[in-house]
Structure 1
Amino acid sequence: MKKTTTGLAVALCLSATSLAQAYDGRMTLGAVAGTTGLGADLAWRFNERFGISARYTGGIEREIDYSTNDVNYDGDVSLAGGKLTLDYYPFASGFFLSAGLMLPDIDADIVGRPRKAAYEFNGQEYPTDALGTLHGKATLVDGVRPYAGLGWRQAHRSGFGVFAEIGVIPTDPDVSLRTSIGYEDTNLPGSAQLREEIRQEEERLKDEAEKWPVYPVAVLGVSYTF
């Protein structure tokens, strides 16, 4: 009995050692596409439960259209983001939980035109030929933000596999507007009021953007584990 127990203990130790070695230093490289663009994901799984990963995606623009009570807006949203996380594999398989930092850059260059013959802000009309068009930048999220997510990465065995991950980052919207003619930057009669009207329009757009407190980060792709 003692000899059997000893043999079993040795076998378990050898098995554990072999498993640890199987995960030590394993690298996974993936090509991904998702809500922050196209890019690559690189992961190092240094044991069966933990690893670190880095990802960068970008190069995608999307057209948007949005209208307030007074102005029709259109523009192009630029999507990009880098990420560095610690990954936890609770079942020692491909499923992982991820937490860390992300550096997103999601903003839009927008152009606004009046919905009627003239701009109307809070009951006050401004001729289109006097103001031109509204130009500005709407930023949904920029700068370093915390990130949390979950996914699947074939880091538990070598070869090709499918990569998928979903997560969220908190947003921090900001909007800036100005007219193409620059009337609000002068000291002409009514320019001070127009500046105030534009600031209020910025706040309206910002309030709409704040209805999205988090931005969904979702990627899908293929990977190869060495």
Structure 2
Amino acid sequence: MPVAQQLNARFGVNYFDYSFHTSTNDINYDAKAKLRTFDALLDWFPFANEFRLSGGVIYNGNKVDATGTPKANGTYTINGNTYTASQAGQVDGRIDFKKFAPYLGLGYGNALAPNKGWGFTADVGVMFQGNGSTSVSNSGCTASALICTQLARDVAAENAELNDKVHGYNLYPVVRLGVSYKF
């Protein structure tokens, strides 16, 4: 929607799921990335063409959920200690990011241009999502209290390792292509 002569506002919704396998040094995971964002952006057209600078805020619902999978022999090795899958129970992990993130980008195209017919838009930008927060946990430990306590310490070490792996992924690149038709 137009805001001023050289300024437009736009809103977008993005939704995508992606399943994959990953691992830390100790545990293999079946993971699912759930990419869900809603953005509110302002496009400023500083020149008389369709080049634009964009900025705004994005609601960031992106996260990764992971379920630990034991090795072929039915064991987990966590922090150097081996546990049977029945002892360890379920091992789960999650990576979350801050919920609101600023966005800056460059683009070309204006869906509100007075020209009739087909239009093309392209954006390249970055969402400043901050460092991810991780959580690794286990549930259903069936071993003795002593072993379950050691398992809890090892799971905390696994969480620290995962946190180290995601540290530094605080910028999320954004590329968008679009077409429009104006009657």
TM bucket, shorter chain: 0.7 to 0.9
* 1:183 to partner: Cα distance: 5.1
Indicate if the aligned counterparts of 2:132 and 2:170 stay in contact, CA closer than 8 A: no
Q: Distance in 2 between matches of 1:202 and 1:113?
A: 16
Q: 1:85 aligns with which of 29, 35, 41?
A: 41
1:161 maps onto 2:119 in alignment: yes
Q: Is the contact between residue 54 and residue 104 of structure 2 (CA under 8 Å) also seen in structure 1?
A: yes
Q: Quick check: which has more Rg, 1 or 2? A: 1
List gaps (5 residues or longer) in structure 2. Answer: none
Q: CA deviation at 1:156?
A: 3.1
Query: How many angstroms does 1:180 deviate by?
Result: 4.3
**Structure 1 gaps, min length 5:** 1-42
Q: Which amino acid aligns with 1:150?
A: L
User: Structure 1 length as normaliser, TM-score?
Assistant: 0.70
Alignment partner of 1:190 is 2:147: yes
The amino acid that maps onto 1:164 is: A
Query: Which residue of structure 2 aligns with residue 54 of structure 1?
Result: 11
Asked if the contact 2:95–2:134 (Cα under 8 Å) also holds between the matched residues in 1, the reply is yes
* TM-superposition CA deviations, 1:10-68 (whole Å, max 9, x none): xxxxxxxxxxxxxxxxxxxxxxxxxxxxxxxxx42520x2222221222x211122112
Deviation of 1:147 (Å)? 0.7
Query: Is this contact kept in 1: 2:108–2:121, CA < 8 A?
Result: yes
Residues 225/83 of structure 1: CA separation in 2 closer, same or farther (3 Å cut): farther
Deviation at 1:149, TM superposition (A): 0.7
Other structure's SS at 1:76 match: strand
TM-score by length of 2: 0.85
| Distance apart, 1:120 and its partner CA | 2.0
Structure 1 segments of 4+ aligned residues over 6 angstroms from their partners: none
Identical residues among aligned pairs (%): 28
Residue in 1 aligned with 2:82? 125
Q: Does 1:135 align with 2:95?
A: no
RMSD of Structure 2 on Structure 1 (CA)? 2.2
Higher helix proportion (structure 1 or 2): 1
Structure 1 residue aligned with 2:103, among 132, 137, 147? Answer: 147
Question: Partners in 2 of 1:222 and 1:198 — Cα distance?
Answer: 48
Q: Would you say how many aligned residue pairs link Structure 1 and Structure 2? A: 179
- Cα deviation, residue 142, structure 1: 3.8
The yes-or-no answer on 1:67 pairing with 2:23 is yes
